[in-house]
Amino acid sequence: MALERGTLFEPVLVKDLVSKVQGKSSLAVLSGQTPIPFNGKKEFMFTMDSEIDVVAESGKKSHGGISLAPRTIVPIKVEYGARVSDEFMYAADEERISILQAFNDGFAKKVARGLDLMAFHGVNPRSGTASAVIGTNHFDSLVDQTVTSTANANADIESAVGVVQGSGGEVSALAIAPTFRTSLAGLTKTDGNAMFPELAWGAAPQTLNGVRVDVNKTVSDMSNDLAVIGDFANAFKWGYAKEIPMEVIQYGDPDNSGLDLKGYNQVYIRSELYLGWGILEPESFARIIENA
């Protein structure tokens, strides 16, 4: 057998997988990735309660104060499996590698989409329903600063920026849904020219007005969100545990499809990934939501 239960993804496949995730997930594109151990990781957020103090020579120093708010990033397990012909077991090494690379490509896309759906909306990507495992650890639950959309998408962004800055936060990036991108693209200046010509014909630039932007339908899928704006660079972290187990199952019905693997000359490739994320400062974000 080329692979047995407990076999791990090769390091080159792990690197390729994460690279593809970082290119297709809005959260991965806009924020910082950090390694996550299996037992979780704490991120400490320090808040200085006072301003700096001017002290005269030989003068008395006063207490400034500090608040410490730890946020624990606990990885959760996600899995994906697929049936392939049992010829995989007897193919030459080059052909097996080709199949695994194809599986890796598809897995990366699903993980990227899944990361966004889980961290933005708290859903199990496969069922589309709220996940008890994720609980409240998602933007729709923790970020209660919202702006209801209007006919002027640019004004909506300005309002959201104002909300974040009013809470003491900074805006480093925004993730927007395709429909919101279309709304921005349709805005014109008083002279009739497009306000954002770089958005014409479905284009999705990496920046708008000097701010990083990513267009992704995961922002609005399974939610009424149109955009999420805030300090993705510092106030959101995500990561993965690099040990990614893979198994090739030759018997039974591992996906509960009712079709026996041997009966259909198939094997089942399954892989698991441990993903974790944390919204370190919810007040550093605002959501633009659809006007019901």
The DSSP call for residue 28 is H
Read off the pTM. 0.82
Q: Indicate the burial class of 212 (C-beta count within 10 angstroms; 0-12, 13-18, 19 or more).
A: middle
Residue-wise pLDDT tens digits, 20-45 = 776 689 998 998 776 565 555 555 44
Comparing CA positions, the residue from 273, 272, 274 lying closest to residue 75 is 274
Amino acid found at 162: G
Task: Determine which of 39-43, 44-48, 115-119 has the lowest per-residue pLDDT on average.
Answer: 44-48
Token pair for residue 225? 């969100």
Alpha-carbon distance of 102 to 81, in angstroms, equals 13
92 phi, psi to nearest 5 deg: -65, 160
Q: Which of 16-25, 59-68, 84-93, 190-199 has the lowest mean pLDDT?
A: 59-68
pLDDT at residue 119, as a whole number: 95
Q: 236, 173 in Cβ contact below 8 A?
A: no
CATH number, domain 7-46+70-289: 3.30.2320.10
Nearest to 279 by CA among 174, 167, 172, 136: 136
Determine the longest span between alpha carbons in the chain, in angstroms: 87
**CB-CB neighbours of 278 under 10 Å:** 24
Look at residue 50 and tell me whether its pLDDT is greater than 80.
no
Spatial distance between the Cα atoms of 24 and 3, rounded to a whole number of angstroms: 28
The pLDDT score that the predictor gives to residue 60 is 64
First-residue to last-residue Cα distance in the chain? 56
Contacts of 119 (CB under 8 A, 6+ apart): 27, 137, 138, 139, 238, 277, 279
- Rg of the Cα trace of the chain? 23
pLDDT above 50 (res 97): yes
As a whole number of angstroms, the distance between CA 54 and CA 46 comes to 22
- Helix (H) or strand (E) segment spanning residue 207: strand 207-208
H/E element, 11: helix 11-24
Residue 108 · residue 20 · CB < 8 Å:
yes
| DSSP per-residue codes, 155-198 | HHHHHHHHHHHHTT----EEEE-HHHHHHHHT-B-TTSSBS-GG
Whether 182 shows a pLDDT value over 90: the answer reads: yes
- Residue that wins the pLDDT comparison between 209 and 241: 209
Long-range contacts of 19-25 (CB under 8 A, 24+ apart): 20/105, 20/108, 20/109, 20/112, 21/108, 21/111, 21/112, 21/115, 22/112, 23/112, 24/108, 24/109, 24/112, 24/113, 25/111, 25/112, 25/113, 25/115, 25/116, 25/216, 25/218
Where do the domains of the chain lie? 7-46+70-289
Q: Per-residue pLDDT for 68 more than 60?
A: no
Residue 95 has a pLDDT of 78
Residue 105 has pLDDT above 70, yes or no: yes
Q: Which of 41, 17, 46, 15 is nearest to 234 (CA)?
A: 46
